[in-house]
Structure 1
Amino acid sequence: MRNWMDLNGDGEIDSSEMMFAGEMLCTSREEHEALFGDAGDFEDDAKDDFEIDAMAAGLDVDELERMNPDDRTEALEEAGLDPDDYDFD
């Protein structure tokens, strides 16, 4: 059986294949930053992540975005979400 990380099929796993495999296995922005020094494409998903988390917690995304920061923080905390995980700039 061929190793799944041997992307070019040459029987050896080179540094490019190792890096690509590492990126495929990253499951969070923090993990990607720790391994590669940047957020990779996780930055693009931040708004989607917020919307999914907020809707799963029963919160209205549009209403949260219009709230003043203190009320929004309180609403997120009451829903069990960490306000520091989301950027509203």
Structure 2
Amino acid sequence: MNMIDQALAIAVRVHAGQVDRGGRPYILHPLRLMHRCRSDEEMIVALLHDTVEDGDISLKDFERFQKYHKALGLLKSQMND
């Protein structure tokens, strides 16, 4: 499984059962963002950007994405905003 598939699997698990304000499945939000991205790193960030905030995982859980250090940096900076 490649890193984007792993990020997608995490996002699907974390957002399972969640809905947005309009009552639509929340996972559609990160999927829409992902489709606007060009690089693998951007796609990973798009998929995972709400998972720490909304789920039962921490930034430490993303160490498997070390190859994508830029994506990790973006995720960490978002959490510090």
* Higher RCO (CA 8 Å, separation ≥ 6 residues): 2
TM-score (norm 1): 0.24
